Amino acid sequence: MSFVLIHGAGFGANCWDELIPHLNAEALAVDLPGRGTRAEVGLGTVTLADCADAVREDVEAKDLRDVVLVGHSFAGVTVPRVLDLIPERIRQVILVSAVVPPDGSRVLDQIDPGVRDLVEQSIVGGVYHQTREGAAAMLCNDMDDATAASALDRLADDSGALLREPVDLSGYRREIPRTYVHLTRDQCYVEELQQRSIALLRPNVVDLDTGHMAMISAPGKLAAILNAVHG
């Protein structure tokens, strides 16, 4: 059994650095196109299909099977595409405050209006760039100053087009067990939106009293949930 970790918007695979040592199985953190190990890919060209292909490539390169697929935040719209690409390799899905809008809609249309305005203002020339100040308000409300600084140092530019691309959730129709980790102090993907995602997915739900970046602010607690879910 292996964990495969998919980051959300504005970060790369290194957002999982604090979490991985707490996991009780092998873990693969994937860099989606345009950051980290795939930084050579131009952000203006990235699609959701490209993101799913990146996960597939990394999983197949290591020939991982019996995978627990963990998706954080924006990865909620990458995960179903991965499920359609390599369903035979996936054992379970765990979604951490994951964005799951109605099928065929755009992520940008489904987020909190206040957050949406900040996001739209942060897209210039097709690139989504978060300021430290804006990200701190949305992402670091449960962190001390040192932890927040460490998180903000890992901010990465992202593709604005991904936020505007219609999502394809058909992969969630597959009979693969799924759990949603509901973050009760999340100021980015707020309570109402998490509940909408939960209603669409009808997963098992586990509450965790953290802000949006639980893998950084409470890695041991989040890892305990992941370890317990896979059994």
Q: Which amino acid is present at 173? A: R
* Mean pLDDT, each 10-residue run in order, the chain (231 residues): 95 98 97 93 89 98 97 96 98 97 84 72 77 91 98 92 88 96 95 95 97 98 92 61
Tokens of 207: 């509450």
Give CA–CA dist 53/59, Å, rounded. 10
Burial class (CB in 10 A: 0-12, 13-18, 19+), 197: buried
Give CA–CA dist 86/107, Å, rounded. 24
Give CA–CA dist 70/52, Å, rounded. 13
Give CA–CA dist 155/29, Å, rounded. 16
The runs of H, that is alpha helices, within 34-106 are 48-61, 79-85
Per-residue pLDDT at 230? 63
What is 2-230's CATH number?
3.40.50.1820
Tokens of 201: 């997915």
Sequence ranges of the domains in the chain = 2-230
**Beta-ladder partners of 26:** 2
Backbone angles phi, psi at 189, to 5 degrees: -100, 90
> What are the CA-CA distances from residue 42 to residues 13, 22, 167, 199 (Å)?
17, 33, 21, 35
In the chain, what is the greatest distance between 2 CA atoms, to the nearest angstrom?
45
With a CB cutoff of 8 Å and minimum separation 6, the contacts of 69 are 4, 6, 79, 82, 83, 90, 92, 93, 94
Per-residue pLDDT at 30? 98
